[in-house]
Copies of this chain bind each other. A is one copy, B any other.
Amino acid sequence: MSSTFGTLFKVSTFGESHGKGVGAIIDGCPPGMELRAQDIQVQLDRRRPGQSKMATDRQEADQVSILSGVEFDRTLGTPIGLLVANKDQRPGDYGEMDQVPRPSHADYTYQMKYGIRASSGGGRSSARETIGRVAAGAVAEKYLRETCGIEIIAWVSAVGRIEAAGVDSARVTREEVDAHIVRCPDVGAAKAMEDEILQARGEHDSIGGVVSCVCRKVPTGLGEPVFDKLEALLAQAMLSLPASKGFEIGSGFGGARMRGSLHNDPFVRKGERLGTLTNYSGGVQGGISNGEEILFRVAFKPVATIGLAQTTVTMDGREVVLEAKGRHDPCVVPRAVPIVETMTALVLMDLLLRQRSRQVNF
């Protein structure tokens, strides 16, 4: 298991879905920043299930507690311990599922890798695991915003075959994103996406989607070629999220179909600095931010837990029919929005500190 992320802003997460709690330690947060639990709670609340009829109804307050690293609402430069207690502690609850690895869940692979697995709810592979990341990422996000003015805004750009259009990455705000429950700022598409999700739910099924993200006002120079290029760490961060299946930056897979004469972003003067006329690069050249918007998209598969009956086999190979009980979130992407934002913040924060160590004049 590798639950640690980052070189200088190092985050270690912990916690199973039905154990005592989940959380994170941030080792390397700069000292002197104002920080209150509420600053973190904002993103945890956006991540929380049970916000709507479309999401699972399980009520989880997910209140974060700061265990260390902060005194009189100011960071000390020491490790920041963050803990969210689980209200729903019930080892062994799922019962029969223990014998049947759920299709497209991690039950089978955890069992094969570790020879043991949490008795219920997915344990560490559960979506609850992301709470530690979101909490830590909210701290990074605050720092980036206050020291550099960096804005990180994600939104749902597709649900199933419904795609958003007309989202202006230069201006979209978190308020616009949150205005509709599916977190798509394209109002027309949002309504269609809601219908799509409700229909999937009605059919005891689930549906996939895409989250887009823009980072604005990122200073030029972030990214550590060659292995820790900005887009490489973003890709790692995004593919480490539960249910994600793809990542693309700038032109992405569409760029593979283009000619260089169109794809190249010519430089132009933008006030005091150079900018580019187009942005097929997605704000990154040679693995380093170029001062333009960083733009990327993340694909999420449909949630694996569905009410429909599925024919599968038990650990010892006997065929069975599996039918999930209870209510489950039919589409993960609305809740993935704050997760994508905070993971992005973890990437940018670490790269900012790494770049800062370099700045000296001879």
Contact = CB atoms under 8 A, between A and B. Distances in A.
B246 A31 contact: no
6 contacts: A3-B27, A77-B358, A208-B257, A227-B240, A229-B240, A255-B301
Contacts of A112: 220-221, 288, 290-291
B260 A207 contact: yes
B256 A158 contact: yes
Interface in A106-149: 106, 108-110, 112-119, 123-125, 129, 146-147
Given A13-B79, A113-B221, A266-B311, A106 B287 contact: yes
A304 interface: yes
Query: Interface residues of A toward B: which range?
Result: 35 or more
A21 B83 CA distance: 11
Contact of A103 (B20, B227, B228, B267): B267
A303 interface: yes
A231 B245 CA distance: 8
Given A256-B210, A285-B108, A4 B10 contact: yes
Contacts of A261: 205-206, 306, 308, 310
Interface stretch (A50-58, A170-178, A312-320): A312-320
Interface string A16-46: 1001111101011011111000000000000
Contact of A257 (B68, B71, B161): B161
A21 to B, nearest CB: 6
Given A19-B71, A108-B274, A248 B249 contact: no
B72 A91 contact: yes
Which of the listed residues A33, A253, A288 has the most CB atoms from chain B within 10 Å of its own CB?
A253
Nearest to A269: B317
Given A1-B77, A16-B69, A71-B119, 4 more contacts: A3-B225, A34-B362, A76-B118, A206-B259
Which of the listed residues A68, A72, A268, A306 has the most CB atoms from chain B within 10 Å of its own CB?
A68
A233 B253 CA distance: 19
Contacts of A267: 101, 103, 108, 312-313
Interface string A294-326: 000101111111101011110101000000000
A342 interface: no
A275 to B, nearest CB: 9
A345 to B, nearest CB: 15
Contacts of A187: none
A239 B245 contact: no
Contact of A252 (B224, B246, B287): B246
B355 A356 contact: no
Given A108-B290, A276-B103, A301-B263, A67 B113 contact: no
